[in-house]
């Protein structure tokens, strides 16, 4: 742990010098990269410095106890101080271990994808409910959302919706939403009143920026076509929709929400870059499999993570066994209890995994 902290402190000091360098300031892309890295290290460095202060105070208190030049009252006070400082030291160590083992992308903005799963029309309506829930949570958190792509059904549901969320610690809080979300309710189209089970999948990716991944223009093929939507919505008379194919990986991204071909291309490139970055991470199979052993959820879309039960008015997160009887407010974006519960459980697992390894 100490070696990693010392390396981070050295990098933190180096970054302070780099962002003051006129050559770096003149290169806007490079400056942004260093400034972002500096901001990501700030929290752990502040904890490390506070930890070092506790160690120093602990050393001073022990010196008083071991010294023959202090009276019994002073030694007694020092012994009490040692007890308090030992507790602080333990808390700081646990906190630093949890921080060091956390995902380095936790401070990044995200791209989220919601897709209707099993359940036909009802699944697409549930996908729309999830999108609305996340939209309201974004507003509550003071974050910013931008629609990137959508495929709307005739009844107002979503076959697929892709959007970005930017703000403080977005990925750190939203990463646990990846997986299969299941709904149990009576569909509007069900005349007999039978409860149906439908599902939608959610994927959350830390958004890759140009500084993270540069795509060679020779590796992509861009097609334009006329955009259209359910019921004739968003129909254009020009070829503004864009489809980008990344030839080496075979990944294909389409965007048609904007009326401008240029804007659709820019959005499609953001999604493509993020998916490519995620694919690169997944290719590091052995490392990721080790990391996922100490995470609450793997982020696998096939993993059933949560059930929204309308008859009982409850939401259950299956990973941590948390059930909340407040479905209505959760669908209105009140996700704090779920987010906090998942973050706490993940932190405990990572801490236990690190201690077991040591």
Model confidence at 305, pLDDT cuts 50, 70, 90, reads very high
Residue 253 lies inside a defined structural domain of this protein: yes
Whether 137 and 270 map to the same domain: the answer is: no
Residue 288 lies inside a defined structural domain of this protein: no
Whether 188 and 143 map to the same domain: the answer is: yes
Whether 119 and 206 map to the same domain: the answer is: yes
Residue 35 lies inside a defined structural domain of this protein: yes
CATH number at residue 348: 3.30.70.1660
Whether 204 and 342 map to the same domain: the answer is: yes
CATH number at residue 92: 1.20.58
How many angstroms separate the Cα of 33 from the Cα of each of 24, 29, 99, 212? 10, 6, 21, 9
- Residues paired with residue 32 on neighbouring β-strands, in sequence order: none
CA 145 to CA 49: how far, in whole Å?
A: 35
Whether 227 and 253 map to the same domain: the answer is: yes
Last residue of a domain, one of 74, 100, 126: 100
Angle between helices 336-357 and 72-100 (to 10 degrees): 100
Q: Looking at residue 125, what is its pLDDT? A: 94
User: Coil, helix or strand for 331?
Assistant: helix
Per-residue pLDDT of 75-110, as tens digits, reads 899 999 999 999 999 998 888 887 777 777 888 899
Residue 128 lies inside a defined structural domain of this protein: yes
Q: Report pTM.
A: 0.72
Last residue of a domain, one of 52, 78, 100: 100
CA-closest candidate to residue 115, choices 78, 162, 81: 162
- 8 burial via Cβ count (<10 Å: 0-12, 13-18, 19+): middle
* Domain around 65: 2-100
How many angstroms separate the Cα of 293 from the Cα of each of 101, 205, 299, 340? 12, 19, 12, 20
Number of domains in the chain: 3
Residue 335 lies inside a defined structural domain of this protein: yes
Report the sign of the C-alpha dihedral through residues 204, 206, 209, 215, in that order.
Answer: negative
Per-residue pLDDT of 38-78, as tens digits, reads 888 888 899 999 999 999 999 999 999 988 777 888 889 99
Whether 183 and 308 map to the same domain: the answer is: yes
Residue 295 lies inside a defined structural domain of this protein: no
Residue 89 lies inside a defined structural domain of this protein: yes
Whether 62 and 204 map to the same domain: the answer is: no
Whether 181 and 114 map to the same domain: the answer is: yes
Compute CA 15 distance to the chain's CA centroid, rounded to the nearest angstrom.
25
Per-residue pLDDT of 212-265, as tens digits, reads 677 888 988 998 887 665 444 444 445 788 999 999 888 999 888 788 888 889
CA-closest candidate to residue 239, choices 254, 263, 223, 251: 223
Whether 227 and 119 map to the same domain: the answer is: no
């Amino acid at each position: 742990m100490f070696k990693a902290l010392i390396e981070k402190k050295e990098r933190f000091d180096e970054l302070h010098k780099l962002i003051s360098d006129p050559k770096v300031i003149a290169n806007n892309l490079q400056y942004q990269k260093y400034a972002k890295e500096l901001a990501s290290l700030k929290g752990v460095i502040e904890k490390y410095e506070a930890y070092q202060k506790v160690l120093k105070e602990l050393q001073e208190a022990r010196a008083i106890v071991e010294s023959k030049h202090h009276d019994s009252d002073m030694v007694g006070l020092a012994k009490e101080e040692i007890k308090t400082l030992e507790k602080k030291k333990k808390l700081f160590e646990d906190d630093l271990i949890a921080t060091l083992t956390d995902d380095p992308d936790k401070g990044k903005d995200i791209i989220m994808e919601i897709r209707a799963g099993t359940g036909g029309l009802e699944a697409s309506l549930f996908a729309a409910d999830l999108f609305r829930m996340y939209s309201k949570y974004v507003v509550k958190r003071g974050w910013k959302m931008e629609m990137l792509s959508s495929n709307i059904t005739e009844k107002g549901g979503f076959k697929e919706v892709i959007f970005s969320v930017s703000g403080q610690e977005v990925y750190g809080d939203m990463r646990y939403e990846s997986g299969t979300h299941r709904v149990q309710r009576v569909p509007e189209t069900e005349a007999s009143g039978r409860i149906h089970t439908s599902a939608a999948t959610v994927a959350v990716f830390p958004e890759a920026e140009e500084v993270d991944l540069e795509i060679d223009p020779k590796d992509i093929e861009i097609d334009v076509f006329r955009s259209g939507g359910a019921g004739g919505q968003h129909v254009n008379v020009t070829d503004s929709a864009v489809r980008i194919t990344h030839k080496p990986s075979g990944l294909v991204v389409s965007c048609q929400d904007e009326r401008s071909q240029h804007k659709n291309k820019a959005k499609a490139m953001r999604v493509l870059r993020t998916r490519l970055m995620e694919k690169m991470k997944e290719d590091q199979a052995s490392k990721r499999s080790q990391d996922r052993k100490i995470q609450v959820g793997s982020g696998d879309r096939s993993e059933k993570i949560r059930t929204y039960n309308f008859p009982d008015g409850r939401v259950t997160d299956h990973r941590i066994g948390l059930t909340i009887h407040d479905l209505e407010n959760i669908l209105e974006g009140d996700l704090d209890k779920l987010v906090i519960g998942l973050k706490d459980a993940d932190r405990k697992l990572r801490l236990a995994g690190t201690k077991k390894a040591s």
